[in-house]
Structure 1
């Protein structure tokens, strides 16, 4: 059972107790991501994520790492477009020690100027690494095509220009404005004790910062294309379409549709492009849902002499799908696959912690697994067909291709 308690400062603690587990997963979810940034701030949220690991008033960066190595635990973090998460997983008897380290990182980070400059260089290398991986970079290019005038289309990593402008003072100011109690959820799952929950509240429930109202400009999808010539062995293609938001009644319909189009090994794209034609090793689709919109995308990578054919097959398959429709068998199989993935996730404390934290942070509500299964069961051929008719229209296209190639 998932329970939520609100501290006196407005911070929420969401917990799911599973007594027969011997581990506890914990995460500090901050309702602040790259889409909250102004253009000149692009990358600052991700920079903060890095800096919180670089030492506190009482621990060096090495000591933070050794603290978890000594207890056989894991600690990490990630930045997304809408939120940031700092998370750890440890044996249950080390849980209070682990959450103390997370709190120390969040509230007592030193932002040492020497470490600051080192980490700036590390992130510049991370940007270069992404640009050297065209199968990652092509997705970055797609978002810039789809949302050229909105911060959600910008890179989470930032740019060399914006990174150069960041200072410890700017970081602290940004954190004071965005890392506020009402913007933070602490999620714990596993063998959670009353003592652990009391410890979390003691560590996170007293700090005060002035709250700022989050107001997003709803992204407006734009069809268009981007072609990037690069020294690479393969061509890489992404197609993007408008999707649905987290709160949309179609969220399970589009998840089922995604499975049918390219989200599984039995999907139309995988079977046609890889199994039947041998055009690509990697071909898949995915749906990204956010608080106010969503994006459905397709990716494929293949040799330059097969790139044009692969693109044509993808577009033809989508047209055929809209013309001839999908089958009841595909709907049934996709629903069962979705339910299986959901139930298998119950075996992981990390998956439960992450699910609960995101739902509390972005939706402010929790559904039981039975309620979710009921919603999946309510997905019908008619609903998915109606969604498909409105979904696959003029795409945004991103291509990274060998320099000598020439195709769109």
Structure 2
């Protein structure tokens, strides 16, 4: 799939990235806001996610119903989500509806925060927080970040805490909106069937009057993860136990990104070592590796989930596989299989404006610029058994690691 990038920056600082995709009949439009949970002050915890909800609740020109019906009238497949470091709003429509989709999303980027809807949505967020207490994975995810990052902003819970959401004034959200949704902190991305000049003209009409100077992101360096130790979270209400070994890694957008993804797939993906040597032997229900990467830090997490009574066996099996791959390396045929899978996924994503939009967002955050599908495939082609061995020499996963244990059993 051939693609062409064209960029422009409006006078107010809004960056626009267009990718024209030949032979497609749809267009994806997204606003990437460079703000998330790590940008919140302690008294603001949860405001990024809360604001994401409020962007659907009314503007100076539309109420919540007009926004919702507007998406449906365009035939849009749309969504929004908040992360640690960004917030995204997007819609995917037939090509003829691209401009009205851009206008609707642009209008939402300047929400009115109606007082009545603010209080209604506060209750919705509080219900989400209450429901999250029933999610085992949510407990594990938060405990992992709290353990590694401590008082650093990356430990912030995306939903916020019950106490902060209950007390959050509308004025605090208004101030956050002015600071963090300023045009210099926002990127408009459009991919698919499009005319860049038409996109630029529409962006000038719908976003050119946005005002406000973004405050710079205060990226306080996160602490390095401890090289060893044990941290436990007892969760008696659940039946399963998760064990994780954490090791230092590289940040998002690193030159070794595809090598790390290949390592994770070989270690714990489909038809992986952990699957055949741990899961299929009945030791646990799942096991693998996840690379957690942020703008200025990264972690490699080896994990296993299973019955609490099998903790010793699960951890021993996980360590055995970690030692084997660190010291013995990987086989060329293993590398080739995961590269073939990765190529297929990238090729399919390159044919879809919505998934291309997500790829471009990943590129902008990690590399500062979009990459063509061909550039992405070239990075995959460069992965080898040697590149994986090089990574493991620098970031080995056969040491003690920081052990996280979450579940009903107080172990070890």
**Scaled by the length of structure 2, what TM-score is found?**
0.92
CA–CA distance in structure 1, aligned partners of residues 243 and 67 of structure 2:
40
CA–CA distance in structure 1, aligned partners of residues 219 and 160 of structure 2:
19
User: Which of these residues, 220, 227, 232, is aligned with residue 233 of structure 2?
Assistant: 227
CA–CA distance in structure 1, aligned partners of residues 31 and 212 of structure 2:
17
CA–CA distance in structure 1, aligned partners of residues 112 and 87 of structure 2:
19
User: Which of these residues, 189, 192, 197, is aligned with residue 194 of structure 2?
Assistant: 192
Counterpart of 2:330 in structure 1 is 326
Tell me if 1:8 matches 2:14.
no
Counterpart of 1:99 in structure 2 is 102
Q: For residues 270 and 128 of structure 1, do their structure 2 counterparts lie closer, same or farther at Cα, with a shift above 3 Å needed?
A: farther
Contact kept in structure 2, 1:14 and 1:360, CA below 8 Å: no
- Structure 1 residues not aligned, in runs of 5+: none
- Structure 2 residues not aligned, in runs of 5+: none
CA–CA distance in structure 2, aligned partners of residues 163 and 86 of structure 1:
22
Say how many residue pairs are matched. Answer: 403
Counterpart of 2:262 in structure 1 is 256
Q: For residues 126 and 398 of structure 1, do their structure 2 counterparts lie closer, same or farther at Cα, with a shift above 3 Å needed?
A: farther
CA–CA distance in structure 1, aligned partners of residues 72 and 404 of structure 2:
41
Counterpart of 1:43 in structure 2 is 46
Tell me if 1:297 matches 2:324.
no
- Mean Cα deviation higher: 28-37 or 332-341: 332-341
Q: Superposed, which structure 2 residues align to 1:303-382 within 5 Å?
A: 303-382=307-386
Partner SS, residue 214 of structure 2: coil
Where do 4+ consecutive residues of structure 1 move more than 4 Å? Answer: none
Q: For residues 216 and 15 of structure 1, do their structure 2 counterparts lie closer, same or farther at Cα, with a shift above 3 Å needed?
A: same
Contact kept in structure 1, 2:27 and 2:92, CA below 8 Å: yes
Q: Superposed, which structure 2 residues align to 1:135-146 within 5 Å?
A: 135-146=137-148
Contact kept in structure 2, 1:23 and 1:90, CA below 8 Å: yes
Tell me if 1:265 matches 2:258.
no
**Scaled by the length of structure 1, what TM-score is found?**
0.93
Counterpart of 1:156 in structure 2 is 158
| 1:296 Cα offset (Å) | 1.8
RMSD: 1.9
Tell me if 1:169 matches 2:174.
no
Instruction: Write out per-residue CA displacement over residues 186-223 of structure 1, whole angstroms, 9 at most, x where no aligned residue.
Output: 11111113434421232123312123222311212333
Contact kept in structure 2, 1:23 and 1:91, CA below 8 Å: yes
Contact kept in structure 1, 2:244 and 2:302, CA below 8 Å: yes
